[in-house]
Amino acid sequence: QVQLVESGGGLVQPGGSLRLSCAASGTIFSIYAMGWYRQAPGKQRELVAAITSGGTTNYADSVKGRFTISRANAKNTVYLQMNSLKPEDTAVYYCNADRVISSTQIVPYNYWGQGTQVTVSS
């Protein structure tokens, strides 16, 4: 079984910071990257940050310069440091493993967990 457990969310004021953690268990094959996704009410889930097995990172334009994705040395835990948080960052945040399914497609595995709620409000 594969399990991804997110933690670290909470309620913060605009401009505040949070550090999210993703603990992975089980075996996931053919991992290209680990990614953080978020989903706000009434909106589709979107990729916000990803890190490849080689350490290359990628960020959504909306979070560039504010969020940083990283992983532990054991590579079974992934983090998302979120700074300068904005109300528009409010969402449930999920982590997942991404895989290459074609020469042009990189998609997440269907291993979604419960996520962790991030609320940015005064």
Tell me: the pLDDT tens digits for 31-80? Answer: 889 999 999 999 999 999 999 988 999 999 999 999 999 998 766 789 99
- Percent of the chain exceeding pLDDT 90 equals 73
Q: What is the pLDDT of residue 91?
A: 98
Residues in CB range of 8: below 8 A, 6 or more apart: 18, 19, 20, 21, 116
